[in-house]
Amino acid sequence: MLLEAKKLLMTGVLTPESIAFAAAQIAQEQGAEVVLTSFGRAMGLTEKSARRLPTPVDVLEMDANDPEQIAAVAAELTGRWGSLDGFLHAIAFAPQDALGGNFLNTPWESVAMAVRTSAYSLKAIAVELLPLMKEHGGGIVSLDFDARFAWPLYDWMGVAKAGLEAVTRYLARDLGKHRIRVNCVSAGPLRTVAARGIPGFETIADAWADRAPLGWDTGDPMPVARTVAFLMSDWASGITGEIVHVDGGYHAIGAASPGAASPGA
């Protein structure tokens, strides 16, 4: 029961295939009390998914780019729990003209949307929820996709993920005095609704298992979810500012094995 009596906020649940859904499920199984967030047209899907968790939970409306909605969630959690032990940032978005090989032609407005939603929102949520965590510390975890490389067709989302990694390090620096840990989980490709909207996803995903030393199942989010749970737990009390790769070891291999497909194949 790594998360016994912990109170956690989980963003990014859309369907039961979402990484965040698996993280919420594991958190409940490990003893945590969980609340989800969603907004707009996605609320209905999230509420339906919330009822499929081991213990059905509430869904609060929160657009990560709307300061008033973030503040409203903080106020709700203050009244509901009075404190918070951590949250999962599973939020990313880039307009279609920021993906798919359009890197040189993407306008600033689309770049700004990708960076604000996928990177800056981590800081915005962390600052608003800080009063709920600063007295006792906790764990903040975000979902990443290895930003060291220029992936095929990932374009400005890759830049936004690099920003997310940097925001993680700066938040770790500034929140450490409150014993708040901030880490990223760099996940291998998983077949979620969000991933299917990324041009070139199949190109990357299809080659991953051949190159990863441990193999990789693009339909199984549980290895990622279990790592999220660990990083939110007291067992990770000495870890912050870290990028933890949960990708079957793909990130460590410099070239594909003979006969294996390369990422750009």
Q: Rounded distance, CA 11 to CA 33, Å?
A: 14
In a domain, 192, yes or no: yes
134 included as an active-site residue? no
Location of structure tokens 């707009």? 40
In a domain, 13, yes or no: yes
Q: Rounded distance, CA 9 to CA 88, Å?
A: 6
Catalytic: which of 6, 48, 120, 154?
A: 154
| Res. 4 pLDDT band, cuts 50 70 90 | very high
In a domain, 1, yes or no: no
Average pLDDT, the chain: 93
Residue-wise pLDDT for 111-159, tens only, equals 999 999 999 999 999 999 999 999 999 999 999 999 999 988 899 999 9
In a domain, 189, yes or no: yes
48 included as an active-site residue? no
CA dihedral over 135, 128, 41, 118, signed as positive or negative: negative
In a domain, 2, yes or no: no
In a domain, 259, yes or no: no
Closest CA to 225 of 7, 1, 20, 38: 20
The answer to whether 25 touches 55, Cβ cutoff 8 Å, is no
Collapsing DSSP to helix, strand or coil, 252 comes out as: helix
Closest CA to 156 of 118, 194, 103, 112: 103
pTM > 0.85: yes or no: yes
pLDDT at 123: 98
In a domain, 137, yes or no: yes
pLDDT at 198: 73
In a domain, 262, yes or no: no
The answer to whether 205 touches 163, Cβ cutoff 8 Å, is no
Number of domains in the chain: 1
**What is the residue range of 208's domain?**
7-252
Residue-wise pLDDT for 183-220, tens only, equals 999 999 998 877 777 776 777 888 898 899 999 999 99
CA dihedral over 84, 188, 13, 101, signed as positive or negative: positive
Catalytic: which of 120, 161, 170, 250?
A: 161
Residue-wise pLDDT for 43-67, tens only, equals 999 999 999 999 999 999 999 999 9
CATH of residue 60:
3.40.50.720
